[in-house]
Amino acid sequence: MRFYFRTRYEQDLRLFKDNGQKFWYGLLVIVLLLAPWLLPEYFISQLVFIWIYSVVGLGLMLLVGYTGQISMGHAAFLAMGAYTEAYLQSKGWPFVLSLASAAVVSGLTGVVVGLPALRVRGMYLAIATLAFGFIVEEAVTRADGITGGNTGMTLGSLEIFGLTIDSEQRFYYVSLAVLTLCILGVMNLMRSPTGRAFVAIRDSEISAQSMGINLARYKTIAFALSAALAGVAGALYAHKLRFLSPEQFSFLQSIELLIMIVIGGLGSIHGAIFGAAFWILAQQFIVTAKDWLPAAIGQQTGLQPTVFGIFLVAFVLFEPLGLYGRWLKIRTYLEIFPFYRKGMFKRQKSYIKSERLK
Amino acid sequence: MSAPLLQAQNLSVQFGGLRAVSDVSFEIWPHEVFSLIGPNGAGKTTIFNLISNLYKPAAGRVIFQGETISHLAPYEIARLGIARTFQNIELFEHATVLQNLLVGRHCQRHSSWWQDLLFTPRVHRTELQFRRHAEEVIEFLDLQHYRDSMVVGLPYGVRKVVELGRALAMQPKLLLLDEPSSGLNVEETEEMGFWIDDIKNDLGITVIMVEHDMGLVSRVSDRVLALNQGEVLALGTAAEVQAHPGVIEAYLGGVDDE
Amino acid sequence: MQFLQLVISGIAQGCIYGLIALGFVLIYKATETINFAQGDLMMLGGFLGLSFMVVLGMPFWGAFLSTLAVMLLFGMLMERALLRPLLGQPAFTVVMLTIGIGYLARGLVTMIPGWGTETHTLPVPYKDDVLRIVIGSGNEPLVLSMEHLAIIVVTAFLIAILFLFFRYTKLGIAMQATSQNQLGAFYMGIPVRRINMLVWGISAAVSACAGLLLAPITFVHVNMGYIGLKAFPAAVVGGFGSIPGALVGGLIVGIVESLSGFYLPEGFKDIAAYVVVLAMLVVLPEGLFGEKMKKKV
C-alpha cells in the first residue's frame, strides 16, 4: 500500500493524491487523446460506446453505489435524454443548449421517479422504479407526435459551434470531453458535504437524520443528478446511433446497466468505467468468438445471455467487489509483494442485519 | 440560575398495547450531566428517541431552549444543537472515521449541491474548516491512529469512541449518550468517564446519559432520574436515587436479594 | 356480460400473477431474498412439462407431477449451490445473482437445439374446451375457457394446501418460525438452512405449476418468464411478506389489466400493473396486508 505523507489538509482534498497518481493518469490522458490516430476506426467507435455507457454508469453508480438507492428503470432516463436531444436538434437548437436541456429534462424526471424513494425503501423502491421504467417506455411509444413512436426517430448530423461532427474521431473527442466533465463533477461531489450525505444515507438513514441530513432532499438530489447524467449519456447515445426507437430503452436495458455497475465494482467511479468497458468489450469478444467456436455453440442466439449470466453469477459469488475490486487487489499484491495477505480486502458479513428493518 | 435547557413535559408513547413511556416529566439545566437509569425496557432509550423525534409522542411535548420541538423532523432537531449516540452503534460502516466525523459538520454547511458539484472556492474553504474541527475532535478522543480506517474493520471499543466523536463533531449544545459504557472494559469505561467530565467542563456541553454502570453514573452525574416501566421512580443526586427504596427494589437489588 | 367475461379472464390471469408472486413472497419471507428469476423458473417448468409430454410421451397428470417434483429439487439445488454461499451479503448482491441466474436460464434454454428458439404448444387434455354457463334467462351464455377455469381451480387448490401446510404441519410451522426470526429458530433446533432450501424448492415448484397452467394460453417459449415481472407489482400491492396478499395482489392486477385492455386506449393494458403499484405506494406503501416495520435504535 502506498503511504501518502501529508503535511497539510489540502492534500487530502486534492483530486490526485500525489505526484505518482498524477503521472499515471496524465499518461492515460495522453494515450486516450492520441487513440484516434493510433487505432482503427472500429475500435474508436467501440471506445465511444464505452464513454457513453460510462456516463450513464456514473449516474447509476451515484445513486446505487454511493447513496444506496435502487433504480430498475434507469433506461427511462436514457430515453428522456435521447429523445429530448433528438427533438431539440430537429428544432435547430445548438448542441450545448440541447445537451443541457436533455440533462434538465431527465433530471426532472428523476425527481418524479425519486418521489417513492421518500416513502419506501429496498424492494418497494425497486418495484416503483421498475414501474416508472415501463410507464416511461410506453409513454414514449404513445407520444409518436414527438418521438415517432415505434417507427423511430432519426437525427441529423451533429454541429457544435459551427463545426460538423461527422467522423468517428471527432465524436470520440466530444464524448470523451463530456465524460471527463462528468467524472470531475462526481469527484467534486463526493469530496464535499453533499457526497458525504449520500454515503451517510446509504449506510445509516437513522443516524444521518440525527446529524442534520434532510433525507428527502438528498435522496431527491441523488435521483435527479443520477437521472441527469443518464440524460447526458442518452443525448450522446442519440447522436452516436442517429436512430432512436422505444425498444432500445426497455427493461432489459435497465437491468443491463445494473449488471454493468455490479461487475465494474459498486461504490467507485472506476467501477462505472470498468463496468462500461467490460460491457462493450464482452460483447465484442462474443462476436469475435462466434467465428472460431464450434457451430453448435457459436451460432446460438442464446450465447450472449448465457455468457453474461455466467459472468454475473461468477462475479457476485467470487468477486463481489467487482472488476475494480479485483484490480485493487492485484495492484496491492504487486505493490507490497511478498507481504500480501489473503484476507486484506475481506468485507464483513452481517447475518443479523435485516434489510426490512433498516 | 438560567432557564432549563431542555424540558420534557408529560411525555407518553405507546407501541400497540405497551405503554413504553408514561407521563414522564423532567428538566435539564445547562452544563449538567443528567443520567437516566432503570431496568431494561424502562423506556430510557425511548425517551431519547422522543427527544430526537424518531418517535412521535402520543402525549406531552419536549421544549428545548424555550421552544417546543415535538413537531420538528429529526434532521431539524440536529440543526438546533442536539446530538446523540445510539445504543447499537449506527456508524457509517463503509466510510472512514474521518468521513464519519466530517458528516457531523453537516449542519454548518452553507453550500448547495451545485456548488459542491463545481467545488467552488467557498466549498474548498469550508471543507478545510470542517477538517480542522474534525481534527480537534480526533485529538480530544485520541483517534489519530484510526483516522483513515474504514469503520467496518474497527474493534468495538474504538467504534464506541467514534460514535461519541461523531456526535461531538456537531458541536452540540445538548448531547444524548445512549449507554456509552456498554461493551467497554474497566479501563475503557474509566476513560469514557474522563471524557464525559471534559465534555462538560472544557466543551461546556450539557449531557443526558442512559447508563447501567452505576459506578460511572455516580462518578460523573450531577442528577439522576430513575425510571421503571415507563414511569418516573425517583429524581435527585446519584446518592439520593441510589438510596431510594423503590429504585433498589426495581433495579439495584437490595441486601436481602441473594 | 362482456364485463363479467373480462373480470373472469382477469381473475385467471391474476391467479397466474398470484402464483408467481406467491413463490416470490415465500422466498422473501424466509430468506429476505428477492428472486428476480421467479418468472424464469416458471419458464423452466413450462419447458420441463413440454419435454415430459412430447419427448417422453407421459400423460398430462404424470408430466404435471413430475415437473413439480423436478422443479422442487431444482429450487433446492439452486439454493444450496448458488444462494447459500451468499449468506450474509447485502440484499442487492443476492438480487443481482438471481438476475444472473435468470439470464443463464434463458440463455441455456435457447441453446438447446431446436427446442429453445421455438414456440411450442403444450398438449393439455382440456385445451380448447369451453364451459358455457347461462346466468338468468334469455342472456348470452357466459363462455369460460377450460384453461382459465383450470387456472382458477388449481390455484385455489394450491393455496388451500399451502395454507393447511403452514398452519397445521410441523414443517410448515417451522418455516414460519425461520422466516420470522432466523436466529431464534436456529437456537430452537430448527435446521434453518435445510428449511430455506426447502422453501426455495416449494417456491420453484409453485412457479412451475404456474408455468404449466399458463402454457396453454401463452404457449411455451423462452421469454414466457417476462410475465413474471408483473408478479412483483402484485406482491407489492398485496404487501410484501404476506402470502394471502400475494394472491389478492395478483388478482387485483389481473382484473385491472383485463378491464383496461378493453375500456382504455391502447397501451394501457401493458402498464396497468405498474400504474396500480405506483398508486398503491402513494396511498398505502406497505401494501394491503403488509406490516410497517421500523428499526429499533
Using DSSP's 3-state secondary structure scheme, residue B63 falls into: strand
Q: Does one domain contain both B192 and B214?
A: yes
**Cβ–Cβ contact B86 with C under 8 A:** yes
Rounded average pLDDT over A39-50: 91
User: Are residue B42 and residue B106 in the same domain, yes or no?
Assistant: no
Structural domains in chain B (count):
2
Rounded CA-CA distance A12/B144 in Å is 15
Positions of E strands within chain B: 6-15, 18-28, 33-37, 59-64, 67-68, 82-84, 174-178, 206-210, 223-228, 231-236
Residue C173 has pLDDT above 90, yes or no: no
Q: Which residues of B153-191 are buried (b: 16+ CB within 10 A; e: fewer)?
A: ebeebbbbbbbbbbbbbbbbbbbbbbbbbeebeeebbeb
Higher pLDDT, C132 or C66: C66
Identify the domain containing residue B147 by its residue range: 94-158
Query: Are both B58 and B179 inside the same structural domain?
Result: yes
**Interface contact flag, A13 B132, Cβ < 8 Å:** no
Q: How far is Cα B2 from Cα A343, in angstroms, rounded to an integer?
A: 56
Cβ of residue C293 closer than 8 Å to a chain B Cβ:
no
Residues of A in contact with C293 (CB under 8 A): 356-357
Location of C-alpha cell 437525427: A155
- Residues B231 and B126 placed together within one structural domain of the fold: no
Residues B177 and B213 occupy one common structural domain: yes
Q: Do A211 and B107 touch (CB under 8 A)?
A: yes
- Cβ–Cβ below 8 Å for B113 and A347: no
A149 to chain B nearest CA, in Å? 35
CB proximity A247 to B under 8 Å = no
Single out the residue of C255, C231, C225 nearest to residue C27, CA to CA.
C231
Report whether pLDDT(A358) > 50. no
Q: Across the interface, which of A189, A197, A215 has its CB nearest the CB of B106?
A: A197
Instruction: Show residues of chain C in contact with A251, CB under 8 Å.
Output: 229
* 8 Å CB contact between C17 and C230: yes
Domains identified in chain A, total number: 1
Distance, CA of C127 to CA of C148 (rounded, Å)? 10
pLDDT band at residue A295 under the 50/70/90 scheme: low
Could you please report the per-residue DSSP string of chain C?
A: -HHHHHHHHHHHHHHHHHHHHHHHHHHHHHH----TTHHHHHHHHHHHHHIIIIIS---HHHHHHHHHHHHHHHHHHHIIIIIGGGTTS-HHHHHHHHHHHHHHHHHHHHHSTTTTTS-B----TTTT-EEEE--SSSSPPEEEEHHHHHHHHHHHHHHHHHHHHHHHSHHHHHHHHHHH-HHHHHHTT--HHHHHHHHHHHHHHHHHHHHHHHHHHH-B-TTGGGGGGGHHHHHHHH-TT-HHHHHHHHHHHHHHHHHHHHHS-TTHHHHHHHHHHHHHHHH-TT-SS--------
pLDDT tens-place string over residues C222-276: 888 888 888 888 988 888 777 788 889 999 999 999 998 888 887 788 888 899 9
Average model confidence (pLDDT) across chain A: 86
Q: Which residues of A touch B90 (CB under 8 A)?
A: 204, 206-207
CA distance A224 to C165: 47
In CATH, what number is assigned to the domain containing residue B210?
A: 3.40.50.300
The full DSSP string for B191-230 is: HHHHHHHHHHHTS--EEEEE---HHHHHHH-SEEEEEETT
pLDDT given at position A350: 52
CB contact (8 A) between residue A13 and residue B128? yes
Question: Measured between CA atoms, how close is B135 to chain C, in angstroms?
Answer: 28
For residue A6, being part of any structural domain is answered with: no
B112 and B235, same domain (yes or no): no
Chain A contact for C58 (CB, 8 A cutoff) = no
- Name, of B195-199, C58-62, C121-125, the range with top average pLDDT: B195-199
Extract the C-alpha cell encoding A265: 465494482
Chain B neighbours (≥3 Cβ pairs under 8 A) are: A, C
Which of C200 and A339 is assigned the larger pLDDT?
A: C200
Query: For residue A272, what are the domain limits?
Result: 39-346
Whether B38 is in a domain gets the answer yes
Q: Report d(CA B202, CA B191) in Å as an integer.
A: 16
Residue A198 lies in a domain: yes
Is the per-residue pLDDT at B255 higher than 60? no
Which residue in chain B is spatially nearest to A193 when comparing CA positions?
Answer: B106
C97: left (phi over 0), alpha (psi -120 to 50) or beta: alpha
Nearest-CA distance from B125 to chain C in Å? 35
CATH code for the domain of A302: 1.10.3470
Name the average pLDDT for chain C.
Answer: 84
CB within 8 Å: C107 and A308: yes
- B86 contacts in chain C (CB < 8 Å): 297
Q: Residue A346: is its pLDDT beyond 70?
A: no
For residue C136, what pLDDT is reported?
59
Average pLDDT over residues B58-84: 91
pLDDT at residue A355 tops 60: no
Among B135, B158, B181, the domain boundary falls at B158
Question: In the predicted model, what is the mean pLDDT of chain B?
Answer: 89
Residues 6 or more apart whose CB falls under 8 angstroms from that of C231 comprise C17, C18, C20, C21, C24, C38, C39, C250
**CA-based nearest distance B249→chain A, Å:** 35
In a domain, B144, yes or no: yes
Number of residues that this document lists for chain A = 358
C-alpha A24/C-alpha C19 separation (Å) is 55
Question: For residue A353, what pLDDT is reported?
Answer: 43
- Greatest mean pLDDT among A150-159, C118-127, C210-219 lies in C210-219
pLDDT in tens, B99-145: 999 999 988 877 888 888 888 888 899 999 999 999 999 999 999 99
Return the pLDDT at A296.
62
- Which candidate from B84, B126, B152 shows the least CB-CB separation from A210? B84
- B258 pLDDT band, cuts 50/70/90, is very low
Comparing alpha-carbon positions, the chain B residue that sits nearest to A346 is B153
pLDDT in tens, A193-226: 999 999 999 999 999 999 999 999 999 999 999 9
Dump pLDDT digits (tens) for B27-44.
Answer: 999 999 999 998 888 888
pTM of the model: 0.90
**φ/ψ (deg, to 5) at B36:** -110, 125
pLDDT in tens, A304-329: 888 889 999 999 888 888 899 888 88
A207 interface with B at CB cutoff 8 Å: yes
Chains in contact with A, where contact means 3 or more Cβ–Cβ distances below 8 Å, are B, C
Q: Determine the Cα–Cα distance for residues A231 and A103; give it in Å rounded to an integer.
A: 5
pLDDT of B109: 79
Test A196 with B106 for CB contact under 8 angstroms.
Answer: yes
Instruction: Provide the pLDDT for residue A352.
Output: 43
Percent of chain C with pLDDT over 90: 16
Please check whether residue B26 lies inside any domain of the structure: yes
pLDDT at site C182: 76
Mark whether B105 and B62 lie in a shared domain: no
Output the nine-digit C-alpha cell for C292: 410497517
Q: pLDDT confidence of C171, banded at 50, 70, 90?
A: confident
> Which class for B128: exposed (0-12), middle (13-18), buried (19 or more C-beta within 10 A)?
middle
pLDDT in tens, B140-158: 999 999 998 889 889 998 9
Looking at the fold, whether B55 and B98 belong to one and the same domain comes out as no
Any CB–CB contact under 8 A between A128 and chain B?
no
